[in-house]
């Protein structure tokens, strides 16, 4: 199995995972890097990229709903567990492919991917060079308390998975530039975030300040990258930070110069 790393795109439904996989893959193609897309979302109707490996060949959300007489939520849980059953099938396919990066699109519900034991087994065994691209919702992240909820999710991911995490603020075209700057500053400097927090009365005030202290300990390990798949923004920043983790340096300029 020859690849630089396998990247899981994880985040809430609608955060832009599938679109980011497609946009980053296209960007990589332009730069002559080889990004191979893998779809692990059995609930996807259509995906905006050509998947080299697609879990829907094995099962779809609709099939599981029918087979087990479940609604979509119950079926999502069964699907999350079935993923682990297909570990060998997927690994077999990965082993036949040589590329720079596998771009792995994951199911809509973050919590299913983060908290089910099956996906932990899956992530720990699929590749020994994995990372997680953690998509933060832009509309939630632009308020201090909303951003804290996103940091909590990031902290939970840190606790669950011992792999590099790259937090990404998606759809930044939906925010004012000033709002994007604010969020990025909060990510770097949690004291600034604390000062921006509204001084809430009672329970939520206590909760937020205690939470911030925990988050200061579990702080994000890398800069928050702002991307917009719509505008094609931030792909170079995202690539650079991944590349410097896995290939020991940003080879972007060197690579572009080779032609
Ligand atoms: N404005 C804007 N919309 C986006 C962007 N990326 C994705 N979207 C839209 O957000 C919706 C959900 O995107 P999708 O990639 O399917 O999210 P997923 O559920 O996380 O896979 C779609 O309607 C996309 O067109 C972006 O960068 N900017
Ligand atoms: Mg999707």
pLDDT in tens, 48-92: 999 999 999 999 999 999 999 999 999 999 998 999 899 999 999
Does residue 115 register a pLDDT over 90? no
Using CA atoms, how far apart are residues 188 and 201, in angstroms rounded to an integer?
26
For residue 119, report the distance from its CA to the centre of ligand 2, in Å.
Answer: 17
Cα-based angle 45, 136, 229 (whole degrees, multiple of 5): 60
Q: CB–CB of 16/171 below 8 Å?
A: yes
What is the pLDDT averaged over residues 178-204?
82
DSSP, collapsed to helix, strand or coil, labels residue 102 as strand
Lowest average pLDDT, out of 5-9, 172-176, 218-222, goes to 218-222
- Answer for the pair 157, 134: CB distance below 8 angstroms, yes or no: yes
Measured from the Cα of 15, ligand 1's closest atom is 20
State in Å: Cα 45 to ligand 2 middle: 9
Instruction: Please report which ligand is nearest the Cα atom of 22.
Output: 1
pLDDT in tens, 139-167: 999 998 888 888 888 888 888 898 999 99
Is the pLDDT at 189 greater than 90, yes or no?
A: no
2-137+163-176+224-246 is classed in which CATH architecture? 3-Layer(aba) Sandwich (3.40)
In which band, very low, low, confident or very high, does the pLDDT at 258 lie, cut at 50, 70 and 90?
very low
- C-alpha 21 to ligand 2 mean position (Å): 9
Residues near ion ligand 2 (CB < 5 Å) are 17-18
pLDDT at 248: 76
Asked whether 198 lines ligand 1 (CB < 6 A), one says no
The confidence band for 221, taking pLDDT boundaries of 50, 70 and 90, is: low
As a whole-number percent, the residues of the chain with pLDDT over 90 amount to 62
Residue 107 near ligand 1, beta carbon < 6 Å: no
Boundaries of every domain in the chain: 2-137+163-176+224-246
**How many angstroms does the Cα of residue 22 sit away from the middle of ligand 2?**
10
Ligand found nearest the CA of 19: 1
pTM of the model: 0.91
Average pLDDT over residues 221-247: 92
Look at ligand 1, atom 8, and give the residue with the nearest C-alpha.
16
Of 227, 226, 152, residue with least CA distance to 193? 152
- Distance of CA 252 from the midpoint of ligand 1 (Å): 26
Average pLDDT over residues 211-229: 79
Per-residue pLDDT, 203? 65
| Averaged pLDDT for residues 224-252 | 89
For ligand 1, atom 2, which residue shows the shortest CA distance? Answer: 171
> pLDDT band for position 259 (50/70/90)?
very low
pLDDT at 256 over 70: no
Are residues 142 and 175 in contact, defined by beta-carbon separation less than 8 angstroms?
Answer: yes
């Amino acid at each position: 199995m020859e690849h630089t790393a396998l990247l899981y795109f994880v985040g809430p439904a609608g955060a832009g995972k599938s679109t980011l996989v497609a946009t980053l893959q296209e960007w990589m193609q332009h730069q002559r890097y080889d990004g191979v897309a893998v779809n692990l979302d059995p609930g996807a109707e259509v995906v905006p990229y050509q998947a080299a490996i697609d879990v829907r060949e094995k099962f779809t959300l609709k099939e599981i709903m029918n087979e087990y007489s479940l609604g979509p939520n119950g079926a999502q849980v069964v699907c999350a567990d079935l993923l682990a059953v297909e570990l060998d099938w997927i690994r077999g396919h990965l082993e036949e492919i040589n590329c720079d990066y596998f771009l792995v699109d994951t199911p809509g519900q973050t919590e299913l991917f983060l908290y089910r034991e099956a996906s932990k087994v899956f992530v720990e065994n699929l590749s020994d060079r994995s990372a997680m691209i953690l998509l933060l919702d832009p509309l939630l992240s632009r308020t201090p308390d909303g951003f804290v909820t996103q940091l909590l999710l990031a902290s939970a991911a840190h606790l669950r998975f011992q792999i590099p995490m790259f937090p990404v603020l998606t759809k930044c075209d939906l925010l004012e530039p000033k709002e994007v700057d604010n969020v990025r500053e909060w990510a770097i400097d949690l004291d600034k975030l604390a000062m921006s927090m509204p001084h809430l009365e009672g329970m939520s005030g206590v909760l937020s300040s205690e939470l911030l202290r925990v988050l200061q300990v579990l702080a994000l390990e890398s800069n928050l990258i702002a991307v917009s798949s719509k505008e094609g923004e931030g792909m170079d920043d995202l690539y650079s930070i991944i590349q410097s983790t896995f290939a020991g340096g940003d080879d972007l300029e060197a690579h572009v110069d080779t032609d």
